[in-house]
Chain A
Amino acid sequence: MCEYGLMIFSVHVEVRLRPGIADPQGSTIERAMPTLGFSGVSGVRVGKSIRFEIDAADEAAARSEAEDLCNRFLTNPVIEDAIVELEPVGVAS
């Protein structure tokens, strides 16, 4: 380990359909709920959860890279957006 070593960040990306974009999966799940006896559930939206690790100098750099990855690959910005959560989990060797 050296003074300028990289840190490892654990990243969780939640990919969601943008507000206002119809969600056929969410609607179908919602419609199935009353048949199981869950009558008070509404607003069901289905997304994706993606986890990975990033080596970066600091949290800002890790976040910047994760958001770039979301914009260019993990989401389709026409219909989706993403929430990025990250935390340091160690020092890169």
Chain B
Amino acid sequence: MSLRVGVVVFPGSNCEQDMLEAMRLVGGEPELLWHGDATVNGVDAVIVPGGFAHGDYLRPGAIARFSPVMSAVAEFAAAGGPVVGICNGFQVLTEAGLLPGALQKNAGLKFVCAPAQLRVETTNSVLTRSADKGAVLSIPINHFEGNYTCDAETLAQLRDEDRVVLRYVVNPNGSVDDIAGVCNEGRNVVGLMPHPERSTSELLGSTDGLPLLRSLLSV
């Protein structure tokens, strides 16, 4: 039986169709979840995809966190349900308080759209449990505000608790400690700036997103 994956759509999301394709490719049964509905519709996993939710007005994710669907996502996460936020989705999850830290404007004010080399730092998360620890994955990034930042205490906690999920091999945006993705204490909520749904075919230049997407479907 394939797992049902809900892909949240806000006004301004733009990676949801790619994510539907990618999830079908790895054997999931994806469906869209409209931001205005306060339910995750009984799905087995939730993805908050990339884009510009609510136009990124005020701050990326600042308005999206108040969308009705987010209270359902928070409940789902609190019950242990797997939730992954990608790019703008990562920004939404930090604003919603489901993940620590914040995403700042890139160092050097550069919008970066390029393949990034990412090291899998832990396989103890819903997004990396089928990946290999230490593996280097080539997955594109595409953002202006992906510069992960948090206070020293939070950073120490993330390191001590093995919650840095992915690190950049070469830091593209100024992120503290080269962080590309982190998880929550329960390890069921993961946020990352790179786009695994864009690394699902040799035609796209890489298939390195597949082990991450498969992880989400492996229970």
- Do they bind each other? yes
B interface residues, tally (CB under 8 Å) = 20
Cβ of A42 < 8 Å from any Cβ of B?
A: no
Is there a chain A Cβ closer than 8 Å to B102's Cβ?
A: yes
- Given the complex of chains A and B, what is the CA–CA distance between A24 and B110 in angstroms? 9
Contact A76 B62 (CB under 8 A): yes
Contact yes or no, B174 A78, CB < 8 A: no
In the complex, the answer to whether A79 meets B104 with C-beta atoms within 8 Å is yes
B107 beta carbon closer than 8 Å to chain A: yes
Taken residue by residue from 57 to 93, chain A's Cβ proximity to chain B (1 for < 8 Å, 0 otherwise) reads as 0000000000000000110101100000000000000
Interface size counted on chain A using CB atoms at 8 A? 10
The answer to whether the Cβ of B81 comes within 8 Å of any Cβ in the partner chain is no
**Smallest CB separation, B144 vs chain A (Å):** 10
Q: Closest CB-CB distance, A52 to chain B, in whole Å?
A: 13
Instruction: Report how far A73 CA is from B150 CA in the complex, Å.
Output: 18
Residues of chain B within 8 A of A76, CB atoms compared: 59, 62, 95, 102
**Residues 149-171 of B contacting A (Cβ, < 8 Å):** 149-151
- Counting chain A CB atoms within 10 Å of each CB, the highest count among B62, B94, B104, B108 belongs to B104
Q: What is the total of A-B residue contacts with beta carbons within 8 Å? A: 37
Interface centre among B95, B101, B102 (most CB of A within 10 A): B102
Q: How far in angstroms is the closest Cβ of chain B from A78?
A: 4
B62 touches A73 (CB 8 A): yes
A49 interface contact, C-beta 8 A: no
B149: A residues at CB distance < 8 A: 21-22, 78-79
Q: Within the assembled complex, what's the spacing in Å between the Cα atoms of A21 and B101? A: 12
A78 to B61, CA, bound (A): 14
Partner of A21, one of B58, B104, B106: B104
> Which residue on A lies nearest to B145, using beta carbons?
A24
Within 8 A of A (CB), among B58-115: 58-59, 62, 66, 94-95, 100-102, 104-109
B101 touches A78 (CB 8 A): yes
Given A73-B62, A74-B58, is A28 in contact with B102 using a C-beta cutoff of 8 Å?
no
Q: A25 touching B58 by the CB < 8 A rule?
A: no
| A79–B109 touching, CB < 8 Å | no
Contact (Cβ within 8 A) B95 A24: no
Assess whether B104 is in contact with A24, with CB atoms less than 8 Å apart: yes
Q: A73-B62, A78-B149 known; A25 and B105 CB under 8 Å?
A: yes
The 10 closest A-B pairs by CB, nearest first: A78-B102, A24-B105, A24-B109, A79-B102, A28-B109, A76-B102, A24-B107, A76-B59, A79-B149, A79-B104
In the complex, 11 of the A-B residue pairs with CB atoms within 8 angstroms, ordered by the A residue number, are A22-B107, A22-B174, A24-B105, A24-B174, A73-B66, A74-B58, A76-B59, A78-B102, A78-B151, A79-B102, A79-B149
Which residue numbers of A lie inside 8 Å of B, CB to CB?
21-22, 24-25, 28, 73-74, 76, 78-79
Q: Kindly list 13 other residue pairs between chains A and B, CB separation below 8 angstroms, not including A22-B149, A78-B149.
A: A21-B104, A22-B107, A22-B174, A24-B105, A24-B106, A24-B109, A25-B109, A73-B58, A73-B62, A74-B58, A78-B101, A79-B104, A79-B149
